[in-house]
Amino acid sequence: MSKQLSPKQFIDLIKPNADLIIPIANGEPIRLLDLLEEHAAQLNNVKIHQMLALRDRAYIRGELEQLRHVSYFLSGATRHVYQQAKMDLVPNNFHEMPRLLQKTTNLSMIMTVASPMDEHGYFTFGTQADYVAEFVGKVPFVLEVNEHMPRTFGRNQIHISQIAGYVEHHAPLAEEKASTISDKDIKIASSIIADIQDGDTLQIGIGSVPNAVISMLKDHRHLGIHTEMLPDGVANLVNSGAIDGTRKFTNPGKIVATFAFGSKNLYDFIDGNPAVEMLPVSLVNDPREIAKEKNIVSINATTEVDLYGQCASETVGGKYYSSSGGQVDFARGVRFAENGKGYICMASTAKNDSLSRIKLNLSPLSVVTTGKNDVDNIVTEYGMARLHGVSIAERAKRLINIAHPKFRDELMFDAKKNGFLL
């Protein structure tokens, strides 16, 4: 009996009050979501749960009363909708997502893109493992089979006997446009590169500073990768001999990630590559697992920092922009690791140098993502402030020293006026 579903057969699987789980980024099933919107009149109180939605849709905009989007990380497709109070945003740390979904939803169905079935009857989730791989064998899966999805290794396979059905939809994967690397990015990256040793294991986020760091690592050796998102430049570092993973303490020789998002070059690199392992986020981002990598280096970004060292990484000027993601997972993981090092980066100013990103207080309504007790190093183009284990007064001095020079006198005055400094 074929498990390929007609539109009617798929819609018939969706029960009233269902909670549907969608993966991150390219795990988003275009055709299945199209069918839900086309047949919304036949549905009743269905919620769709997802981090990082890629595409603007009517149900996300709140235009279909039978379907409601629940976000766990905002994107360009959801940010403005949330700011109009038309959808829900659930706070979370990335590694807790499987447990959170299990606790707060019915886990009615998982809908995900998959690579075509192999001769043994297995599909893979390709660029994904994230929070859906945790539920293989436990929750009904409907797959959207896409010949453009790479076949990958790790804990992201599912057998045809384990799925409720599938549809086919073959479309090129969405690609992340590489951020332009500026002179500021090079200066920030240079400070971090000076701390990275041969044999370190890296978690590198998305953006221009991580891209700059990657571009400057080709002469390092025996680097490892243990990261939530696998970025584009990893393939080049493997080819240059910088990454081989031989000194990793967990999964030696393997490039470990929970999802991949970049260019076609990255997707071609992971396709059929046994050195790449896509593992569930409950493993990759668990601070206890991260800490097993004794020489883990975590590199992430923020939007502003106050003189305590608190980082507002998910709001911009007090408005929600994203969510916590895995920043706190890795901030805590490197603290537990024997030689762990964490770096949170930003340009010192915003709005054409008219606004300092190092402030006495965070902008009103800003959300603290990485707290003062978890932060390790803050980096701007003016250098690095090493904050872990130092007093509040010393933190203020070090942060003021890496602020843009035109704001340092004002920051020093405010710090003294408010009791940070004598």
24: closest CA among 203, 229, 163? 229
Side chain identity at residue 286, one-letter code: D
- Show Cβ contacts of residue 84 under 8 Å, excluding neighbours closer than 6 positions: none
Under 8 Å between Cβ of 105 and 19: yes
Beta bridge partners of 230: 260
119 in active site: no
Judged by DSSP in three states, 101 sits in helix
Q: What is the dihedral of CA 348, 351, 357, 363, to 10 degrees?
A: 180
Q: Give me the catalytic one of 28, 134, 144, 228.
A: 228
Q: What is the spatial distance between Cα 236 and Cα 218, in angstroms, rounded to a whole number?
A: 8
- Encode 370-384: b = buried (16+ Cβ within 10 Å), e = exposed: bebebbbbbbbbbeb
Please state the three-class secondary structure of 294-357 as a single string. CCEEEEEECCEEECCCCEECCEECCEECCCCCCHHHHHHHHHHCCCCEEEEECCCEECCCCEEC
Active site residues: 228
